[in-house]
Amino acid sequence: MGFYFAQLLTGLANASSLFLIASGLSIIFGVTRIVNFAHGSFYMVGAYLAYTLVTHWSGSVLGFWVSVILAAMIVGVIGLIIELTILRRIYHAPELFQLVATFGVVLIFQDGTLAIWGAEDLLGPRAPGLDSAVRIMGEPIPEYDLALIAIGPVVLLAIWLLFHKTRWGVLVRAATQDREMVGALGVNQAWLFSAAFVLGSFLAGLGGALQIPREAVSLQMDLSIIGEAFVVVVIGGMGSVSGAFVAAVLISVLNAFAILIFPQISIVLPFVIMAIVLIFRPHGLFGKPGSEKGAPEEPDQPLALMDQKSAMVLMAALLVLALSPLFTADFTSVLMVDVMVATLFAVSLHFMMGVGGMVSFGHAAYFGVGAYGAAMAVKFLGLGMISAMLFGPVCAAIAALFFGWFCVRLSGVYLAMLTLAAAQILWGVTFQWQEFTGGDDGILGVWPAKWASSDKVYFYIAFVLCIGGIWALRRVAFSPFGYILRGIRDSQTRAESIGIDTRFHQWMGFVLAGGFAGLAGVVFAFSKGSVFPDSLGIALSIDGLIMVLLGGIHALAGPILGAGAFVLIEDWVTRLDYWRFIFGAIILIVVLVAPDGIAGGVQRLLRGLKGGRA
Amino acid sequence: MLDVKNLGAWYGRAQILNGVSLSVGENEVVALMGRNGAGKSTTMKSIMGLVRHINGTIRYAEREVQGNTPHAICRLGMGYVPEDRRIFGDLTIEENLEVGRREPRPDAPEWTQEHLFELFPNLAERRKNLGKQLSGGEQQMLTIARTLMGNPKLVLLDEPSEGIAPVIVEQMARVIAELKREGLSVLISEQNLHFARIVSDRAFIIEKGEMRFEGSFADLDENPEISNTYLAV
């Protein structure tokens, strides 16, 4: 009995820090509608700062708590600087574009912390005055855990008072519901956004700072917490602080007990819980309908068919690509295969997001299932390359058929989060199921058939499959099915009222996007000769998202430009020291220079050139 | 007081307004009339800075305000009451009013919460209720009261009589008369000729984003074909 109670207390202590970071994320989303990927970075920096400050004032009780608060405040100031210099300039950019900027910030922070604090994990001192354990029902409980258990509700109460008893809090709650109306009533939204961002960053920093007596400070803290924090925010309902508290407790306590029964489950459990909650409550436990929507936006421009000149440019580019193996070295052909794979993957994601209006944070799932499908077909079924290449996309489409059925019942950020949950569950299964998938070791020996084994020949196979796939998706975007999807994207109710089964069409759009992502995965698997769980991982999903958004979601050329730029820049910078910093900076520059994506930026540039001549 | 010249407005590539001009004088109630989709709400929103792509000039309080943010325009003493009310459903009546509260200005009457509760007695009884718990009529009253908390000099009232019970419409007419008595100017968009005639001094008629008529209700009565063409169903 005592043991289970101790486990419950551990769960509650975990819940507190999770709540702190999630509440900040929720406040920022509620007011600014920014999906802040950098929130994990704030948490990590809070921990590093607290480590430095606490070791500086080591030993004194007051010193410890002052350090923790000070660290959180510095993070709040960092948040303010980011809001003022970057995010404020791009609030009018298409929905989710700010997410790209926050991802650039993640990369910069990773290398920034590496440069300042080094790669070694840092073990902070215990909290003075709370450094021993008390026995409760015979079990030793760290005093610090008890302090954390108290801190969670105290912060919740403080936020509640702030939101209900101050004018600022009332304005924040009003802005969470209708920020445009708050502006029309004379409130300067820009400052409200900054303040919300500062509060959110402060809470993330506080969550990180409070962790130092419990775990080593490391460079992996940012991405290890962000997924879970998103899950908590979504389960609680986007924008709801009390929802975040309930969800943090739910996740942490369930996790504390689940690992006793089935230790492997802990990496997927939060996502399973999120999936279940979203299926029954599509806006989270305390979320309101409408809370999933991003910033109000002008209607999308219709997709334009290419004019003759652009078509000629495209044909010329394709021709150069097709002939490139004849005059370049083998490694260039291999790089070009990577570019084509990334492009097909990005185009399939764009089909889902830009044409279908369904944002996905977990599109790598179908890429990975395609790759694994083909690899396993070779390994277990003994299929040849061609049949395995057919088998993979079919597997991906079937996975999309299954998960898509659930996802299309939701919309907006909630849909995106369910796709993330699906991807994480698939990743977790792949990672853990050693006997079947090879786990972390992956599946090796997935080589092309003998006749296709040279880099140049394989280049042409990839060329046919990837360019063919991109062409096919483009055709579909301009088919009646594509028109219906775009109609649903622009207005679900109007589409429904003219008799369109919107869910079915979105479902089929989801399956099609998944199938083509699987095709990209297959080409990838045979080009590398192996598959690893990374190919289903959240990092690849985010890469895809960045390619689509950076390229420009409102143009069919967007994902092509985005993927090309992404792979080529990544190939170049990863050879450098502190490449994440450089890559992040490049992303931020693109974001600030071309808030309508690369495609939009190029269009404006061309128009400008024409205008200059006229 | 408000002088709009040649206003054009776009949503994406679709042009909604095409050269709309209108004016509202000191302490005047002016009706902007037209059918659904004629451009009344877009005119209001454009004046308030809520439509991003506009051209033309909007002069208010001796300065050009086109291109300003809504909050800057509001702070010059222009109040906006949206057609769909846009009450903060999760805030109480008092909190809704608090969001609208601004410092008093020397050239406009000052409204306090208590003063507004006298004008709208039903709101006073339910001051601790959440916005979403109110009836449509109560929400309509609240949205006007919320805007008045900003102590405006000019109020843009977008279709105040739409979708509410006849008894509330009567109350609404009394409220507008009260605003005029207090010295405010009002631009009210309206489909109902009868209601507009009761509350306002003169009228503009808009159709397909263009102004078709400007004048008094007497002028309108002399030319029944105008109201038949642009207003009658």
CB contact under 8 A, B90 and A173: yes
Residues whose CB falls within 8 Å of the CB of residue A521, separated by 6 or more in sequence, listed in order? A345, A366, A367, A368, A369, A370, A371, A372, A373, A374, A392, A396, A535
Q: Is A59 in the same domain as A158?
A: yes
Q: How far is B172 from chain A (nearest CA, A)?
A: 21
Which residues from chain A sit within 8 angstroms of residue B102, using beta carbons? Answer: 186
Q: Is A269 in the same domain as A326?
A: no
pLDDT of A362: 93
- The C-alpha atoms of residue B125 and residue B185 are separated, in whole angstroms, by 29
Which residues from chain A sit within 8 angstroms of residue B75, using beta carbons? Answer: 186
Residue of A nearest to B80 (CA): A184
Q: Which of A220-234, A509-523, A579-593, A599-613 has the highest mean pLDDT?
A: A509-523
Question: Are β-strands B78-81 and B185-190 bridged in parallel, bridged antiparallel, or unpaired?
Answer: unpaired
Arithmetic mean of pLDDT, B57-67: 91
Chain A CB within 8 Å of residue B50 CB: yes
Say which residue the tokens 């109460």 belong to: A157
Q: Is A23 in the same domain as A114?
A: yes
B51 with B8: CB under 8 angstroms? no
Confidence of residue A294 (pLDDT cuts 50, 70, 90): very low
**B212 φ/ψ angles, rounded to the nearest 5 degrees:** -110, -20
Last residue of a domain, one of A560, A576, A606: A560
pLDDT of A291: 55
- At the topology level, CATH places domain B2-230 in Rossmann fold (3.40.50)
Confidence of residue A517 (pLDDT cuts 50, 70, 90): very high
- The C-alpha atoms of residue A9 and residue A79 are separated, in whole angstroms, by 32
Arithmetic mean of pLDDT, B88-102: 94
A592 located within any domain: no
A271 located within any domain: yes
Residue B84, Cβ neighbours under 10 Å: how many? 13
Q: Is A484 in the same domain as A538?
A: yes
How many distinct structural domains can be found in chain A? 2
Q: What three-state secondary structure class fits B63?
A: strand
Chain A CB within 8 Å of residue B99 CB: yes
* pLDDT tens string A299-330: 556 666 677 787 888 888 888 888 888 888 88
Q: Is A332 in the same domain as A239?
A: no
Q: Domain range holding A98?
A: 2-280
Q: Is A262 in the same domain as A324?
A: no
Q: Is A243 in the same domain as A334?
A: no
Least confident range of A202-206, A209-213, B37-41, B223-227 = B223-227
Which residues from chain B sit within 8 angstroms of residue A301, using beta carbons? Answer: 12-13
Chain B, 149 to 188: residues with Cβ < 8 Å from chain A are: 150
pLDDT of A296: 45
pLDDT of A95: 65
- The C-alpha atoms of residue B100 and residue B121 are separated, in whole angstroms, by 19
CB contact under 8 A, A184 and B102: no
Return the CATH number at A72. Answer: 1.10.3470
Confidence of residue A614 (pLDDT cuts 50, 70, 90): very low
Which residues from chain B sit within 8 angstroms of residue A288, using beta carbons? Answer: 90
Nearest by CB to residue B102, choosing from A180, A182, A186, is A186
A10 located within any domain: yes
* Whole-Å CA distances, A501 to A299, A492, A508, B231: 22, 10, 11, 37
Is the model's pLDDT at A476 over the cut of 80?
A: yes
Average pLDDT for chain A: 89
A293 located within any domain: no
Confidence of residue A207 (pLDDT cuts 50, 70, 90): very high
Kind and range of the H or E run holding B137: helix B136-148
Last residue of a domain, one of A542, A560, A578: A560
Chain B CB within 8 Å of residue A289 CB: no
Confidence of residue A295 (pLDDT cuts 50, 70, 90): very low
CB contact under 8 A, B71 and A170: no
Question: Are β-strands A139-142 and B2-11 bridged in parallel, bridged antiparallel, or unpaired?
Answer: unpaired
A173 with A42: CB under 8 angstroms? no
* pLDDT tens string A546-594: 899 888 888 888 899 999 999 999 888 888 888 899 999 998 998 888 8
Is the model's pLDDT at A292 over the cut of 60?
A: no
- The C-alpha atoms of residue A230 and residue A25 are separated, in whole angstroms, by 8
Q: How far is B197 from chain A (nearest CA, A)?
A: 28
Arithmetic mean of pLDDT, A356-372: 94
pLDDT of B233: 55
Arithmetic mean of pLDDT, A376-395: 91
Chain A CB within 8 Å of residue B46 CB: no
Q: Is A275 in the same domain as A314?
A: no
Residue of A nearest to B131 (CA): A174
pLDDT of A301: 61
A194 located within any domain: yes
A303 located within any domain: no
CB contact under 8 A, A187 and B91: no
Mutate to test the interface with A, among B15, B48, B85, B99 (most CBs of A within 10 A): B99
* pLDDT tens string A248-282: 999 999 999 988 888 777 778 888 898 899 888 88
pLDDT of A299: 52
A495 located within any domain: yes
Q: Is A263 in the same domain as A326?
A: no
Last residue of a domain, one of A265, A280, A295: A280
Least confident range of A86-95, A189-198, B98-107 = A86-95
Is the model's pLDDT at B74 over the cut of 90?
A: yes
Which residues from chain B sit within 8 angstroms of residue A182, using beta carbons? Answer: 99
Q: What percent of chain A has pLDDT over 90?
A: 50
A608 located within any domain: no
Q: How far is A613 from chain B (nearest CA, A)?
A: 25
